[in-house]
Amino acid sequence: MQLPHLSSKRAAFVALIVLVVAVAEFLAFEGTVGVSLPSDRNSALSRLEIKARGTDIHFITQNKRFTVVDYWYAHGTRREALVLRESFFMDRVDGREGPPDATVTVEAMQGNRVTWAFHEAGERGDVVTNKLYMVTKFNGGEIGTLYTYFSLANGQKLRSNQYVPLSTRELEALDLSIDN
């Protein structure tokens, strides 16, 4: 079966459209999810944008940071520095009640290579032990704050707790449950 003959102008136009769509998609992912080029992975920039959409004013922030964690393998046999690249995106609407549209993205890096990553709804993210990361989503009202815990070994979601964060004893137990 032969392909229909495309003129060189039509082929160039199709190629241009594909390129524009690919660049637009990358920019959308970089602005919302924190996806970046490998060359940008060792850079952490913050950004503020104020936009009017209809009658609403949106304060859009994107903050990035690096955290280095001493990660211990089973039975303290080997220690490795784990570099986390954290991205915090928030779209807060002036005067609107309830939690803002916010996400936390964490990537574990070895050089310029990402070994694992997770993306979770929430406003804050913090390393709570050498093996655990906690994302906090402030819901307010009857729903209450949600605390979600992730393994620093592989980025897997381990547990969520509503209203109060885990106690020190519960954190220690969850920390010990992580396989290396």
pLDDT at residue 100, rounded to an integer: 80
Counting other chains too, the contacts that 81-88 makes at CB distance below 8 Å and 24 or more residues apart are 82/108, 82/152, 83/108, 83/109, 83/110, 84/108, 84/109, 84/127, 84/133, 84/152, 85/41, 85/44, 85/109, 86/125, 87/34, 87/62, 87/63, 88/61, 88/62, 88/63, 88/64, 88/123, 88/124, 88/125
| Residue-wise pLDDT tens digits, 104-126 | 999 998 877 899 999 999 999 99
Res. 25: pLDDT tops 80: no
Task: Name, in order, each residue with C-beta under 8 angstroms of 165's C-beta and a sequence gap of 6 or more.
Answer: 134, 136, 147
Alpha carbon distance 78, 8 (integer Å): 60
Mean pLDDT of 117-142: 90
pLDDT above 70: residue 3:
no
Beta carbons of 114 and 107 less than 8 angstroms apart: yes
Mean pLDDT over residues 134-161, rounded? 89
pLDDT for position 35: 53
Q: What is the pTM of this model?
A: 0.70
CA 155 to CA 135: how far, in whole Å? Answer: 12
Long-range CB contact pairs, 98-101, < 8 A, 24+ = 98/139, 98/140, 98/141, 99/123, 99/137, 99/138, 99/139, 99/140
Closest CA to 127 of 169, 85, 162, 91: 85
What rounded mean pLDDT belongs to the chain?
80
pLDDT in tens, 40-69: 556 677 888 888 888 888 888 899 999 998
